[in-house]
Amino acid sequence: MMQRAPQAPPMDVRQDDLSSPQTQALLRLHLAGMHETSPPGHVFALDLSGLTAPGVTVWSAWSGSDICGIGALKQLDDRTGEVKSMRTHPDHLRRGAAAKLLDTVIAHARVLGLTRLSLETGSGAAFEPALALYRRRGFVDGGPFSDYEDSGFSQFLHLDLAADAPLAQVRSSLSSPFTK
């Protein structure tokens, strides 16, 4: 008789005030990774002070006491938002943390009445898994937005929130916690 491996506790997404050592460590890992995989002058990831600025909401995904990932929404104006600081902890890759976080960001943007979500990310193999996730959620390639400029390294993706939401995103928005 085969014995089953123990299952990880269910993953829970909650708003994060960035005060926990686990969240801060993952943010440091994220920033270091961005500097390792991006040319000088092409890292636009927010640090701790940027993520605690007004208009920025951060969520983290947890499995028991383990942090699985982080993601944020920066509200640019009353109609547009930017996805920021999406990072999965290396111990939790390919377990759905990034998808849950992105679904939470999208759902919260809809609750705020935003009509467009945009993001900037880099080019190359390190960015491909994230790009695939964004495209599965309906983001499409587009031009620079906000203060970004076309650099040849950056990629810009946009999601039209005014269009009808796919059923999976609607279901997600009904169960996404915004103020846990």
Q: Give me the residue spans of the domains in the chain.
A: 13-175
DSSP per residue, 70-93? EEEEEE-SSSEEEEEEEEE-GGGT
Query: What does the chain come to in residues?
Result: 180
CB of 83 closer than 8 Å to CB of 105:
yes
Residue 94: exposure state from Cβ atoms within 10 A (0-12, 13-18, ≥19): exposed
Q: Which residue has the higher pLDDT, 45 or 60?
A: 60
* Region 154-166 average pLDDT: 84
Q: Which residue has the higher pLDDT, 35 or 75?
A: 75
pTM of the model: 0.85
Instruction: Give pLDDT tens digits for 3-38.
Output: 655 566 789 999 999 999 999 999 999 989 988 888
Residue 12: alpha-carbon gap to chain centroid:
15
Residues in contact with 57: Cβ distance below 8 Å, sequence separation at least 6, in sequence order: 15, 72, 73, 75, 108, 178
Instruction: Give pLDDT tens digits for 109-142.
Output: 999 999 999 999 999 999 999 999 999 999 999 9
What is the Cβ-side half-sphere exposure of residue 165, based on CA atoms within 13 angstroms?
18
Sorting pLDDT into bands at 50, 70 and 90, what band is 46?
confident
Sorting pLDDT into bands at 50, 70 and 90, what band is 167?
very low
CB of 103 closer than 8 Å to CB of 169:
yes
Share of the chain above pLDDT 90, in %: 73
Q: Is the pLDDT of residue 180 over 50?
A: no
* Region 82-108 average pLDDT: 95
* CATH T-level topology, domain 13-175: Aminopeptidase (3.40.630)
